[in-house]
């Protein structure tokens, strides 16, 4: 009699470190972070083949041979967002981090990480990492060279902020159990009710949190998946380059009696959008687990009205073309404070 495999027993591990080179997996001792997810998620492997099914001269119409040409691997991760998981995803999507200790004497376990887009003049190779997953009693494997293609962050007042990311692997997996499994990693979750949404003049945005029903942010590296294969790489990818990085955001907010949202849209006014997500105190404080998302130069690219609970609301879109890069400013900056000493090391 067979033993069914319970979804509750699925688990996975990840690391804050990046691989030293594409196709070079992290060591098992680096795979130390273990968190819960709201859904069962595992890598999806697909293959491309060479077949003689449609060839002639066999004397019949059936295939006589099948040969694998290439292998692809994709994985989705979905989280109740925390200061750990948001920093991990941001690190591997943006590619550049500057880490400091805001209060090394009074609170030595607090670290601040500022994530920005990597400079393409330095390298166009996306950072990659290794993930370990256990799906069944005998399916235990390491996923080699995962790069984050894109992620979305969404928030509502009565929900935990949601984080979903899509990862692209080399296609290579390394079987074998990793033991012992570490305990679950403590997390500080980011709650929609604690968020402060700010929109206003550059350098001095003002809070509009009382008006906001829902907000979202989307970031993509647009990874060159097909260009990862090259002569000599075999059936697995041998590299992964990022292409045109893109950012967009949206807000769902109540209209008010004296409102400038429509004027901002009609006049193409440049504004700053800032999303502040505080969490729990770190140690004695005053530092907190926190994520601050800053888009210092944006324009509203679409505006629509609707009804919510008999009240007028605006659907505000800041499309990819509305996220500007001005001199001396990054188009996007994500600052996360947590207890992790480093990312991408």
Instruction: Provide the pLDDT for residue 259.
Output: 78
d(Cα 171, Cα 73) in Å, to the nearest integer? 5
The pair of three-digit structure tokens given for residue 126, joined into one six-digit string: 């996306």
Q: Whose structure tokens read 């030293």?
A: 20
Instruction: Provide the pLDDT for residue 271.
Output: 97
Average pLDDT over every residue of 231-251: 97
Percent of the chain past pLDDT 90, that is, above it, reads 92
Q: What are the tens digits of pLDDT across the range 21-33?
A: 999 999 999 999 9
Model confidence at 181: pLDDT above 90: yes
Note whether 275 and 163 are within 8 A (CB): no
Q: What is the DSSP letter of 38?
A: S
Model confidence at 244: pLDDT above 90: yes
Average pLDDT over every residue of 215-239: 97
Instruction: Provide the pLDDT for residue 190.
Output: 98
Instruction: Provide the pLDDT for residue 295.
Output: 98
How crowded is residue 213: how many other Cβ atoms within 10 Å of its Cβ? Answer: 16
Strand partners, 150: 166, 220
Q: What are the tens digits of pLDDT across the range 247-298?
A: 999 999 999 887 789 899 999 999 999 999 999 999 999 999 999 999 999 9
Instruction: Provide the pLDDT for residue 251.
Output: 97
Model confidence at 2: pLDDT above 90: no
CA distances from 41 to 10, 33, 83, 122, 126 (A): 8, 16, 21, 34, 23
Note whether 191 and 209 are within 8 A (CB): no
Mean pLDDT of the chain: 96
Instruction: Provide the pLDDT for residue 194.
Output: 96
- If DSSP codes are grouped into helix, strand and coil, which group holds residue 8? helix
Instruction: Provide the pLDDT for residue 299.
Output: 97
Split at pLDDT 50, 70, 90, the class of 100 is very high
pTM over 0.85: yes
Model confidence at 44: pLDDT above 90: yes
- What are the φ and ψ backbone dihedral angles of 210, each rounded to 5 degrees? -70, -20
175 CB-contact burial (10 Å; exposed 0-12 / middle 13-18 / buried 19+): exposed
Note whether 147 and 238 are within 8 A (CB): no
Q: What are the tens digits of pLDDT across the range 290-332?
A: 999 999 999 999 999 999 889 999 999 999 999 999 999 999 9
């Amino acid at each position: 009699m067979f033993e069914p495999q319970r979804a509750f027993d699925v688990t996975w591990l990840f690391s804050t470190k990046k691989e030293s080179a594409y196709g070079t997996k992290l060591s098992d001792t680096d795979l130390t972070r273990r968190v819960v997810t709201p859904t069962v998620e595992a890598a999806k492997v697909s293959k491309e083949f060479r077949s003689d099914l449609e060839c002639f001269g066999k004397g019949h119409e059936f295939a006589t041979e099948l040969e694998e040409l290439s292998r692809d691997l994709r994985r989705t991760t979905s989280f109740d967002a925390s200061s750990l998981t948001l920093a991990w995803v941001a690190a591997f999507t943006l590619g550049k981090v500057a880490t400091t200790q805001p209060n090394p004497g009074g609170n030595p376990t607090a670290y601040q990480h500022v994530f920005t887009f990597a400079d393409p003049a330095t390298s166009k190779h996306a950072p990659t990492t290794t993930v370990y997953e256990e799906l069944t009693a005998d399916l235990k494997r390491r996923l080699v060279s995962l790069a984050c293609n894109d992620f979305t962050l969404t928030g509502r007042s009565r929900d935990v902020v949601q984080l979903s990311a899509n990862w692209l692997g080399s296609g290579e997996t390394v079987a074998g159990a990793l033991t012992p499994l570490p305990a679950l990693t403590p997390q500080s979750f980011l709650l929609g009710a604690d968020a402060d949404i700010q929109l206003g003049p550059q350098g001095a945005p003002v809070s509009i949190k009382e008006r906001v029903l829902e907000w979202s942010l989307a970031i993509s590296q647009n990874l060159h998946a097909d260009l990862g294969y090259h002569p000599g790489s075999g059936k697995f990818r041998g590299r992964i380059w990022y292409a045109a990085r893109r950012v967009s955001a949206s807000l769902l907010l109540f209209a008010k009696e004296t409102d400038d949202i429509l004027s901002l849209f009609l006049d193409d006014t440049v504004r700053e959008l800032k999303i502040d997500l505080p969490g729990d105190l770190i140690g004695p404080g005053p530092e907190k687990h926190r994520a601050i998302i800053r888009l210092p130069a944006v324009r509203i690219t679409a505006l629509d009205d609707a009804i919510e609970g008999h009240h007028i609301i605006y659907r505000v879109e800041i499309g990819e073309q509305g996220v500007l890069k001005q001199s001396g400013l990054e188009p996007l900056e994500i600052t996360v404070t947590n207890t992790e000493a480093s990312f991408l090391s």
